[in-house]
């Protein structure tokens, strides 16, 4: 008698009648109905195929049933049988792994789920609802949507198919540059309201906050207002005109017709000389209104919660504008950030601020905006932001100047109708490859590493093409704010597809990577920083990935790019899976995290200048996403040192951030840097660990977070503890 191993591990005698009963139940659900002879014959055929086996799994028996049905005249029964089998499989999965995750979330015991994103407060109902929906969506996507080879590679830890809780279940994309100028100039519909062009900077800022909230609820990554100082400058002008007219009425008793006949502008020397009191009045009120408008905008962003339960991940890029209006916006952004939030002056996490450095604009003392550079330096010493962009290096690496989308994702150059376009473009998603795992498998063989890399890159391409296919054919009506109201620069009709927004580099699709440091260490047994030959080996790996992305781009016509994955939770996930499979390997799996993309190992003691030089050659190959940053002691009393580092970075890397101590204890008044431990953060003065009476700010990846309120995952916390200062 053949024995059957059931799914729970128990062993029972084979029972022919159970096959017949299952077939009859499937037949009932068909149009033709029951045929007992066919059910009997199928059961006999299965017996014939397994009769020589002493033991067989239940899955093997069901496979035999399906094979027999497909070769019979009742393929309609096979469809019902397979469908019922899949439903049962899904229910079992829900009762096991899925049920465990759901309970872990509801009872706040699954720390991995709760801390996967430090921008999400997993204690709140909106976030828990989003996480719960994400668990279910990811499970369904893996079972029925994502290609099986991709699912297997993801679950094994060979690759990471990002954001499966949103994509592919929903036809959503990653991050974008919002076309704010188009929306404000041409108007748009938001909910039930038709929004016209704003008449002041106050209204423009308020509308901007609502646009950011709406966009954030329709995508799963970050959004950026590219060169916000230039985009919103016209509304500062409108406020000036409004205040000047009021001044004319009250200070000069001018009548309405005369006021309306004046050509009013900020740079009018005639107005300034003819009506000096009114001109000064309008200038002062406009400056105050601009500061107030951006204070409101900052508060709104930090109090908004998008549909996915998190603060909108927003970035403001600015710095190149040189008109009075553009300068006022730059100053307003920086002054408000320096002031901080609330009576305690806490450091805001969002919006991320990026200041563009450009020779002839703000780099040197003789430049028109040098004073704003000095203000930006002061802000960075107090609040970590702004990060900086080197305008010439960004152009060199990406083909044109633009800000990153959210954290670090960059678009390439795109020209349409002989016009260069940046705003409105987006990234369709990321798949990241686990480089250290391939190196471990290669066991010191560089040639074997590249063979394994090619195999896994083929899986990555399939994963990325699936992301594209999921967006093709999508109709504009699924996200009106994006496709019908101008956020992507498009004004499509409800039934139009978005396909043309995906083609020819208009949008990007990214291959990500992690752990160049651990990869080189595993392959060659030495630290990459200490050997010029090994430094080149690391660059060669990234260059190889870049060439592969370029090859895919040429083959498909889609905007494939190489992206230096931030790896907030992935630094932990990959390392944990590899430790489980390969054991504890010194310097690789023993730390609890993998190093972010191409970065220097966080515990390497070196100067900021050496770190910048070490990382400077990578962005040209990883042009789809990159950032470099250094760790410093407090620089509040030494802004000249920060300026020296900024100027050094300007010549060498396109995108640079500064990490300085900005923590605050509300119990003892300490300001500086809390001690980072594996259990969290504590005040070095009074040992306060209470998140309600402390403000701890750390750079998670490319953006800041507040881990005292929303803790990092275990791996990221280990990485933070390991960080050393660059002196």
* 689 burial via Cβ count (<10 Å: 0-12, 13-18, 19+): middle
Q: Which helix (H) or strand (E) holds 657?
A: strand 655-659
CB atoms within 10 A of CB 157: 18
Whether 405 is catalytic: yes
Sign of CA dihedral 39, 42, 46, 47: positive
Q: Any idea which residue has 């204690």 for tokens?
A: 123
E strand residue ranges, 163-246: 176-177, 188-190, 193-195, 223-225
| Cβ(482)–Cβ(190) below 8 Å | no
Strand 675-677 relative to strand 628-631, pairing: unpaired
Please tell me the distance from the alpha carbon of residue 184 to that of residue 235, in angstroms, as a whole number.
Answer: 10
| Cβ(148)–Cβ(391) below 8 Å | no
Please tell me the distance from the alpha carbon of residue 538 to that of residue 529, in angstroms, as a whole number.
Answer: 10
* 31 burial via Cβ count (<10 Å: 0-12, 13-18, 19+): exposed
Low pLDDT (below 50) residues in the chain: 94-95, 107, 114
Please tell me the distance from the alpha carbon of residue 284 to that of residue 246, in angstroms, as a whole number.
Answer: 13
Active-site option among 409, 546, 659, 713: 409
Whether 49 is catalytic: no
Q: Is 157 left (phi over 0), alpha (psi -120 to 50) or beta?
A: left
Backbone angles phi, psi at 355, to 5 degrees: -105, 125
Please tell me the distance from the alpha carbon of residue 686 to that of residue 682, in angstroms, as a whole number.
Answer: 8
Sign of CA dihedral 226, 264, 331, 346: negative
DSSP assignment of 137-160: HHHHHHHHTS-HHHHHHHHHTSEE
Please tell me the distance from the alpha carbon of residue 264 to that of residue 236, in angstroms, as a whole number.
Answer: 13
Whether 702 is catalytic: yes
Active-site option among 283, 405, 456, 683: 405
Whether 409 is catalytic: yes
**Residues recorded for the chain:** 727
| Cβ(562)–Cβ(542) below 8 Å | yes
Backbone angles phi, psi at 595, to 5 degrees: -70, 140
Which residues are CB-contacts of 632 (< 8 A; sequence separation ≥ 6)? Answer: 608, 641, 642, 658, 659, 660, 725, 726
Q: Any idea which residue has 């063979």 for tokens?
A: 451
Strand 663-665 relative to strand 671-672, pairing: antiparallel
| Cβ(43)–Cβ(23) below 8 Å | yes
| Cβ(390)–Cβ(207) below 8 Å | no
Closest of 298, 282, 322 to residue 206, by C-alpha: 298
| Cβ(289)–Cβ(200) below 8 Å | yes
| pLDDT number for residue 142 | 86
Q: Give whole-number Cα distances, 216 to 142, 364, 567, 575, in Å.
A: 25, 37, 20, 30
| pLDDT number for residue 75 | 85
Please tell me the distance from the alpha carbon of residue 3 to that of residue 192, in angstroms, as a whole number.
Answer: 65
DSSP reduced 3-state for 272: helix
Active-site option among 427, 546, 659, 688: 427
Partners of 608 in the β-ladder: none
Partners of 631 in the β-ladder: 659
User: Per the omega criterion (within 30 degrees of 0), is the bond before 717 cis?
Assistant: no
Torsion over CA of 688, 692, 697 and 701, rounded to 10 degrees?
A: 110
Q: Any idea which residue has 């290669």 for tokens?
A: 442
What is the b/e burial string over 316-345, where b = at least 16 CB atoms within 10 angstroms of the residue's CB? bbbbbbbbbbbbbbbbbbbbbbbbbbeeee
Whether 221 is catalytic: no
| Cβ(199)–Cβ(384) below 8 Å | no
pTM recorded for the entire structure? 0.84
Active-site option among 281, 563, 593, 594: 563
Domains, the chain, in order of start with CATH, read: 3-103 (no CATH), 176-398 (3.20.70.20), 425-626 (no CATH), 663-727 (no CATH)
| pLDDT number for residue 407 | 87
Partners of 356 in the β-ladder: 389
Which residues are CB-contacts of 444 (< 8 A; sequence separation ≥ 6)? Answer: 522, 523, 524, 525
Q: Any idea which residue has 């027999």 for tokens?
A: 68
DSSP assignment of 540-607: HHHHHHHHHHHHHHHHH-SEEEEEE---TTHHHHHHHHHHHHH---TTTTSSSS---TTPPPTT----
| pLDDT number for residue 144 | 81
| Cβ(691)–Cβ(705) below 8 Å | no
| pLDDT number for residue 486 | 97
Whether 443 is catalytic: no
Active-site option among 122, 174, 226, 403: 174
Task: Using only the alpha carbons of the chain, give its radius of gyration.
Answer: 29
Please tell me the distance from the alpha carbon of residue 467 to that of residue 221, in angstroms, as a whole number.
Answer: 15
Whether 175 is catalytic: yes
Active-site option among 27, 248, 407, 683: 407
Sign of CA dihedral 589, 591, 594, 595: negative
Whether 427 is catalytic: yes
Please tell me the distance from the alpha carbon of residue 723 to that of residue 481, in angstroms, as a whole number.
Answer: 41
């Amino acid at each position: 008698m053949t024995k059957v191993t059931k799914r729970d591990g128990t062993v029972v005698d084979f029972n022919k009648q159970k096959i017949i009963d299952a077939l009859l139940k499937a037949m009932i659900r068909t149009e033709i109905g029951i045929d007992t002879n066919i059910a009997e014959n199928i059961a006999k055929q299965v017996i014939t195929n397994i009769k020589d086996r002493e033991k067989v799994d239940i899955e093997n028996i069901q496979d035999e049933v399906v094979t027999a049905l497909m070769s019979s005249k009742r393929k309609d029964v096979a469809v019902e049988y397979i469908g019922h089998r899949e439903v049962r499989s899904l229910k079992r999965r829900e009762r096991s792994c899925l049920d465990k995750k759901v309970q872990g979330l509801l009872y706040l015991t699954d720390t991995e789920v709760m801390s996967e994103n430090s921008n999400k407060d997993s204690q709140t109902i909106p976030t828990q609802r989003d996480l719960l929906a994400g668990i279910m969506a990811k499970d369904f996507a893996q079972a029925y949507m994502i290609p099986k080879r991709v699912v297997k590679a993801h679950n094994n830890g060979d690759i990471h198919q990002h954001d499966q809780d949103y994509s592919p279940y929903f036809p959503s994309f990653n991050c974008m540059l919002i076309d704010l100028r188009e929306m404000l100039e041409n108007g748009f519909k938001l909910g039930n309201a038709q929004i016209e062009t704003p008449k002041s900077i106050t209204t423009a800022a308020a509308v901007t906050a609502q646009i950011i909230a709406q966009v954030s609820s329709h995508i799963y990554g970050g959004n950026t207002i590219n060169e916000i100082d230039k985009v919103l400058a016209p509304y500062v002008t409108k406020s000036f005109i409004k205040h000047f007219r009021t001044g004319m009425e009250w200070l000069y008793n001018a009548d309405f017709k005369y006021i309306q006949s004046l050509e009013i502008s900020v740079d009018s020397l005639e107005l300034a000389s003819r009506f000096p009191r009114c001109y000064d009045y309008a200038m002062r009120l406009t400056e105050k209104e601009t500061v107030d408008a951006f204070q409101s905008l900052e508060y709104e962003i930090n109090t908004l919660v998008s549909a996915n339960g998190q603060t909108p991940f927003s970035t403001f890029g600015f710095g190149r504008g040189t008109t009075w209006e553009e300068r006022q916006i730059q100053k307003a952004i920086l002054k408000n950030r320096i002031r901080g939030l609330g009576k305690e002056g806490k450091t805001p996490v969002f919006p991320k601020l990026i200041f563009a450095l450009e020779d002839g604009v703000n780099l040197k003392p003789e430049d028109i905006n040098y004073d704003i550079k000095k203000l930006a330096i002061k802000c960075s010493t107090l609040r970590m932001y702004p990060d900086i962009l080197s305008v010439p290096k960004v152009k060199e690496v990406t083909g044109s100047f633009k800000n990153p989308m959210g954290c670090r994702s960059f678009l390439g150059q795109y020209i349409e109708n002989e016009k260069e376009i940046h705003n409105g473009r987006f990234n369709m998603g990321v798949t990241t490859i686990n480089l250290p795992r391939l190196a471990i498998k290669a066991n010191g063989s560089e040639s074997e590493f590249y063979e394994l890399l090619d195999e896994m890159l083929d899986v990555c391409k399939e994963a990325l093409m699936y992301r594209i296919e999921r967006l093709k054919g999508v109709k504009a009506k699924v996200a009106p704010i994006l496709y019908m109201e101008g956020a992507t620069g498009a004004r499509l009709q409800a039934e139009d597809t978005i396909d043309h927004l995906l083609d020819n580099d208009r949008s990007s699709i990214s291959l990500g990577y992690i752990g160049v440091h651990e990869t080189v260490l595993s392959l060659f047994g030495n630290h990459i920083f200490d050997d010029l030959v090994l430094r080149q080996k690391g660059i060669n790996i990234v260059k190889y990935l870049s060439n592969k992305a370029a090859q895919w781009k040429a083959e498909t016509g889609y905007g494939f790019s190489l992206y230096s994955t931030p790896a907030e939770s992935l630094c932990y996930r990959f390392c944990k899976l590899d430790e489980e499979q390969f054991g504890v390997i010194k310097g690789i799996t023993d730390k609890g995290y993998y190093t972010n993309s191409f970065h220097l190992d966080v515990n390497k003691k070196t100067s900021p200048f050496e770190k910048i030089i070490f990382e400077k050659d990578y962005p040209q190959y990883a042009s789809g996403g990159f950032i470099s940053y250094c760790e410093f002691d407090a620089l509040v009393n030494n802004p000249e040192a920060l300026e020296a580092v900024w100027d050094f970075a300007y010549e060498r890397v396109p995108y640079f951030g500064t990490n300085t101590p900005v923590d605050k204890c509300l119990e003892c008044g300490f300001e500086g840097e809390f001690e980072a431990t594996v259990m969290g953060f504590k005040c070095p003065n009074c040992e306060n660990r209470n998140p309600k009476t402390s403000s701890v700010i750390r750079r998670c990846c490319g953006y800041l977070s507040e881990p005292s309120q929303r803790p990092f995952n275990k791996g990221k916390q280990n990485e933070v503890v390991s960080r050393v200062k660059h002196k």
